[in-house]
Chains A and B, each alone.
Chain A
Amino acid sequence: MTALLDVKALTVEFATRRGTVQAVKTVDLEVAKGETVGIVGESGSGKSVTSYAVMRILDRAGRIAGGSVAFSGLDLKGATEAQMTDIRGREISMIFQNPRMALNPIRKVGRQIEDVLRRHAQAGSMDARAKAIEMLEQVKIARPEERYHAYPFELSGGMCQRIVIALALACRPQLLIADEPTTGLDVTTQKAVMDLVTELTRARGMSTILITHDLGLAAAYCDKVVVMKKGEVVETAAARDVFAAPKHDYTQKLMCATPRPGSTLRGLLPAEVAAAPNPPAAVSGEVLLKVQNLVKEYPRQGVTKSGAQMFGRGAAQEPEKPFRAVDGISFEIRRGESLGLVGESGCGKSTTSMMVMRLLDPTSGNITLGGDDIGAIQAKSFASSPHRRRIQMVFQDPTDSLNPRFTASRAIADPLMRMGALKGAGAVRARCEQLANLVGLPLDLLDRFPHQMSGGQKARVGIARAIALDPELVILDEPTAALDVSVQAVVLNLLDDLKAKLGMSYLFVSHDLHVVRLLCDRVIVMRQGAIVEQGSSQDVLEAPKADYTRELISAIPHPPG
């Protein structure tokens, strides 16, 4: 059987200020008809660039420097731009990460589907609309006639991804390239989207290339897996074999860094660097944080309400209830304990952490920290409260949460200078170096700016900044969500070591149950502002009581073994 797509010795170069950089080096890739091939690798492995090169949509700075790309016998590398625009969308199409950004924000989604249909002469002005609505139906969008007129900002992330899929499949292409199609979506949405893609591509006999950093996803949905590292293919094998018996060291390292049932925190690290596990945390009986009946309400904003008021019908109607983002939750964190707060987007976990952090004022309820009623302090004056230094936060995006014009040491020194008792630049610098050693940040990086550091290094700076004032409670808001799995493994271990060393408590907010299990003693599962289940991490993951928890756990794809 000849391959539908046959990439041989593909090399892609980028012209940068520091000279030419090879992003993809002599990559071979074959996709047979009807086959699903996964390209797996961490950021910078060249997996996306390979697909852009196939589609010939590289940036201006990038160019195909060598090799060949054949698509059902046609030489894509040598094709003219006019030929390529005919092929894109009709023969090969793509779906992207971050679906909301992948759609034109100011054009109705139905019209965007029509644009593609009409471009490839799959529809004329008479039937374009009907066909677009039919596509919306096929990607299982409820009320497609209505949604035809929606703008991307009016739809959820999962729905936007369905629209992007509709866009990609509208002209019945033979090959679909899915570039991290579910990154940033909730696990249940991820499962729905991936199942939809599988169903549609299988029904049409299409081939698929799934580009992902998630080994579990590749294992669950691919026939064949290509593992890439720094622009090179290190291993190509059937999906079953790769996960059962990874041959290459790098594949093995990736496999063990991916959290899954049964893995341990130390087990994520390569055997040669993993230290002995920390002893179980000395959790005292003393309650550090106590949250009681916490509620956060937001007024509902809707055309219906103000419209009704305007026409004087408001009095006759029941006044609409405000939206409850957090609906009367209570929990405790003891000293030295780490508590996981898990849930999908919109479940109220971030709102809860913001209220505990005293960045948001609760509508009602109590928050006490070590006996002090910090819930009574207004959010806007909490920054100058003596209790402020007792709670610190580590943020989701290590890049965006650092001031781009501050060096690492300046960032770490920021809380010291605002709230610390240290006098003089020398003392502050000494403390910065001490903290850098604590989080494993090489001292020569202290004078670098965020853009000169890697994601893992920036995460360390963020952690050093949070522990600078010896806080009692650290709120970790998805601290590893933006990191590669191997870096995530290191950061999770670092957080665990720091807790053992410094005796802090953690409130760990995450959507990833497996990560939470590794780091936390107890877990709270939230849904629609309420707690559905809580208990020890072990119990909740292995014997979930609530249906919702079970649904969450089963939606997580993980590599076998």
Chain B
Amino acid sequence: MLRATLKRLVTIVPTLIGVVVVTFLLTRVLPGDPAAYFAGPTADAASIEQIRKSLGLDQSLPQQFLRYLGDLARGDLGNALSTGQPVLKEIASRLPASAELTLSALALSILIAVPLGILAAVKEGSWIDHLCRVVTTAGVSLPVFFTGVLFVCIFYYRLGWAPAPVGRLDLYSVAPPHVTGFFLIDSLLAGDFDTFRATVAQLILPASTMALFALAPIARMTRASMLSVLSSEFIRTARASGLNSRTVILRYAFRNAMLPVVTTLGMVFSFLLGANVLVEKVFAWPGIGSFAVEALIQSDYAPVQGFVLAMALLYVALNLMIDLAYGVIDPRVRLEA
């Protein structure tokens, strides 16, 4: 197992090299001249040229790439020209916000979708199966920005159940001392339950918005995968041995049905990171998505590069975790590794 893990870790290296090269090239082929943009509309050619030089944009591509690599090695992702802050610092402060939102949404959707999918498969054709179908269809057909606005409109504006969508905390709460950057965890670590409650209250609407979107693929995959496993022969053996339905469904069927579900989780997580950008805009969430979009509009290389790099690293880590989870679930995968 340990050896398989190490082997899998080695395969990450070429992926990372590819990611670095692609992020570098990607930002270079984007339209727009950042030097002209930052010089302002009234600047003359000489000052644009000077800014170009200060950004290193007058050098050849390989030279720029080498400089980029050197900066990366020192952990320097450059400065965001719009805010003047180092990109690394911006990402470090914003990534936990996005991660907290995405992970909460993912957890929420798993908690609902997996049991729903299992029930729909076990009681195929019953009302719960139809409910599953309705919820999943609604989930995929409503765009997140729409559900987000709808939720705000209903639960904040009409009913007043939810706090104002003003970011991670309402105006009266203070951010907990920084440990992990996740307010949910940090507030608990600090023993500050008021902040914890405020964080949860702020999280509920955006997380539900994204969870509704993520529900459909997870529930459908769980249902389909459970159906195929439930009709397999070892389930018949288990039933013929008198094992009760709880054991048959959870210990025998669900564990076998989990592989495709875990694969789907990986994909859903990447969808959610994409959906983040819109949800963060709607709920004024100080996350990494809104930051990246602004940088992109301003042709600000460094933050975009940093964002793409951070996302790519996240995906690589996620895929690694999924592969390792395969090994834990299925002994046959362990052997192949």
The chain B residue with its CB closest to the CB of A116 is: B241
Tell whether A377 is near chain B: CB-to-CB under 8 Å: no
Contact pattern, A 97-136, Cβ under 8 Å of B = 1, otherwise 0: 0100111111100000001100110000000000000000
- Please measure, in the bound complex, the distance between the C-alpha atom of A402 and the C-alpha atom of B258, giving whole angstroms: 31
- A202–B330 Cα distance when bound, in Å, is 38
Given A102-B234, A106-B331, verify A94-B242 contact (CB < 8 Å).
no
Decide yes or no whether B297 CB sits under 8 A from chain A.
no
The answer to whether A88 and B239 have CB atoms under 8 Å apart is yes
Residues of B within 8 A of A168 (CB): 241
Interface residues of B (CB under 8 A from A): 3, 124, 232-234, 236-245, 247, 251-252, 255-256, 329-332, 335
On chain A, the residues within 8 Å of B239 by CB distance are: 57, 88
B244 and A119 form a contact (CB under 8 A): yes
Q: Are B255 and A119 in contact (CB under 8 A)?
A: no
Contact A57 B242, CB 8 Å, known A106-B331, A119-B247: no
Contact A151 B240 (CB under 8 A): no
Q: A101-B234, A104-B234, A107-B252 are in contact. Are A93 and B241 (CB under 8 A)?
A: yes
Residues of B within 8 A of A38 (CB): none
Contact B241 A167 (CB under 8 A): yes
Chain A residues proximal to chain B, CB less than 8 Å? 55, 57, 60, 84-90, 93-94, 96, 98, 101-107, 115-116, 119-120, 151, 153, 164, 167-168, 310
B236 in complex: contacting residue of A86, A102, A153, CB < 8 Å: A102
B237 touching A119, Cβ below 8 Å: no
> A101 to chain B: closest CB distance in Å?
4
**Inter-subunit contact B330/A55 (CB<8 Å):** no
Instruction: Please determine whether A120 and B242 come into contact, CB atoms closer than 8 angstroms.
Output: yes
B332 and A57 form a contact (CB under 8 A): no
Assess the B240–A119 pair: CB atoms within 8 A. no
A116 and B330 alpha carbons, distance in the complex (Å):
21
With A and B bound together, what is the CA distance between A105 and B335 in angstroms?
Answer: 13
Give me 30 A-to-B residue pairs in the complex whose CB atoms sit less than 8 angstroms apart, sorted by A's number: A55-B240, A57-B240, A85-B244, A85-B245, A87-B242, A89-B240, A89-B242, A93-B240, A93-B242, A94-B237, A96-B233, A96-B240, A102-B233, A102-B234, A104-B234, A104-B252, A104-B256, A105-B234, A105-B330, A105-B332, A106-B329, A106-B331, A106-B332, A107-B255, A116-B241, A116-B243, A119-B242, A119-B243, A167-B237, A167-B241
List A contacts of B329 (CB < 8 A).
Answer: 106
In the complex, what distance in Å separates the CA atom of A173 from the CA atom of B255? 28
How far is the CB of B190 from the nearest CB of chain A, in Å?
41
A106: which of B124, B244, B255 is its contact (CB, 8 Å)? Answer: B255
| Nearest residue, chain A, Cβ from B243 | A119
Chain A residues positioned under 8 Å from B238 (CB to CB): 104, 115
Q: Are A164 and B237 in contact (CB under 8 A)?
A: yes
How far is B242's CA from A87's CA once the two chains are assembled, in angstroms?
A: 7
Q: Chain B residues with Cβ under 8 A from A90's Cβ?
A: 242
6 closest residue pairs by CB, A with B:
A89-B242, A88-B242, A89-B241, A101-B233, A94-B240, A102-B237
Across the interface, which residues of B come within 8 angstroms of A86, CB to CB? 242
Chain B residues, Cβ within 8 Å of A88: 239-242
Partner of B237, one of A60, A96, A120: A96
Which chain A residue has the least Cβ–Cβ distance from B329? A106
- Determine the chain B residues whose CB is within 8 A of the CB of A94 once the complex forms: 237, 240
In this complex, the member of B3, B232, B238 whose beta carbon has the largest number of chain A beta carbons within 10 angstroms is B238
**Distance A120 CA – B241 CA, assembled complex (angstroms):** 9
Beyond the given A96-B233, A104-B234, please list 8 additional residue pairs across the A-B interface where CB-CB is below 8 A: A85-B242, A86-B242, A89-B240, A89-B241, A96-B240, A106-B329, A119-B242, A153-B332
Least CB distance, B231 to chain A, in whole angstroms: 8
Which A residue's beta carbon lies closest to that of B258? Answer: A106
Residues of chain B with a CB closer than 8 A to A60's CB? 124
| Docked CA distance A87–B239 (Å) | 11
Report chain A residues within 8 Å CB of B243.
Answer: 85, 89, 115-116, 119
Complex CA–CA separation, A151 to B334 (angstroms): 12
Q: Find chain B residues with CB under 8 A from A167 CB.
A: 237, 241
Q: Which residues of B contact A310 (CB under 8 A)?
A: 3
**Closest CB of chain A to B249's CB: distance in Å?**
13
Cβ–Cβ < 8 Å partners of B234 in chain A: 101-105
A87 to B243, CA, bound (A): 10
How far, in angstroms, from A152 to B241 measured CA to CA in the complex?
A: 17
Report chain A residues within 8 Å CB of B247. Answer: 115, 119
Which chain B residues border A151 with CB–CB below 8 Å? 331-332
Give A9 Cβ to nearest chain B Cβ, in Å: 24
Residues of B within 8 A of A93 (CB): 240-242
Q: Which among B234, B237, B330 has the greatest number of chain A C-beta atoms within 10 A?
A: B237
Q: Which residues of A contact B251 (CB under 8 A)?
A: 107, 115
CB distance from B260 to the nearest CB of A (A): 14
- Most chain B CB inside 10 Å of its own CB: which residue of A84, A107, A167: A107
By the criterion CB–CB under 8 Å, are A119 and B241 in contact?
yes
A106 touches B242 (CB 8 A): no
- Considering the complex, give the chain A residue whose CB is closest to the CB of B240: A94
Q: B332 to chain A: closest CB distance in Å?
A: 6
Instruction: Tell me the bound Cα distance from A167 to B247 in angstroms.
Output: 16
Tell me the nearest residue of chain B to A310, going by C-beta: B3
- Output the residue of A87, A106, A167 with the most chain B CB within 10 A: A106
Q: Which residues of B contact A115 (CB under 8 A)?
A: 238, 241, 243, 247, 251
**Considering the chains assembled together, what is the distance between the CA atoms of A116 and B240 in angstroms?**
10
Of the residues B233, B241, B244, contact of A98 by C-beta under 8 Å: B233
For A84, list chain B residues within 8 Å (CB). Answer: 242
- Min distance, Cβ A197 to any Cβ of chain B, angstroms: 16
Is the pair B330, A106 in contact by a Cβ cutoff of 8 Å?
yes
For A119, the chain B residues whose CB sits under 8 A away are 241-244, 247
Which residues of the other chain, A, contact B3 by a CB distance below 8 angstroms? 310
Residues of chain A lying within 8 A (CB to CB) of residue B330? 105-106
Q: Please determine whether A96 and B256 come into contact, CB atoms closer than 8 angstroms.
A: no
List the B side residues contacting A106 at CB < 8 Å: 255-256, 329-332
A residues less than 8 Å from B244 (CB atoms): 85, 119
**How distant is the Cα of A85 from the Cα of B332 in the complex, in angstroms?**
31
A164→B234 CA distance, assembly (Å) = 10
For residue A301, give the distance in angstroms from its CB to the closest CB of chain B: 10
A57-B241 contact, Cβ under 8 Å, with A104-B256, A106-B255: no
In the complex, what distance in Å separates the CA atom of A107 from the CA atom of B329? Answer: 10
In the assembled complex, which residues on chain B have CB atoms less than 8 Å from the CB atom of A120? 242
Question: Known: A89-B242, A119-B243, A119-B247. Is A105-B237 also a contact (CB below 8 A)?
Answer: no
Q: How far is the CA of A94 from the CA of B243 in the complex (A)?
A: 13
How far, in angstroms, from A20 to B96 measured CA to CA in the complex? 59
Shortest Cβ distance from B256 into A: residue: A106
User: For the complex, what is the distance from the CA of A106 to the CA of B331, rounded to whole Å?
Assistant: 6
A38 to B330, CA, bound (A): 38
Q: Could you tell me the distance between the alpha carbons of A164 and B236 in the complex, rounded to whole angstroms?
A: 12
User: Considering only CB atoms, which chain A residue lies closest to B255 in the complex?
Assistant: A106
**Residues in chain A near residue B242, CB distance under 8 A:** 84-90, 93, 116, 119-120
- A120–B239 Cα gap in the complex (Å)? 13
Chain B residue with Cβ nearest A55: B240
CB distance from A276 to the nearest CB of B (A): 45
Specify which chain A residues have a CB less than 8 angstroms from the CB of B237 in the assembled complex.
94, 96, 102-104, 164, 167
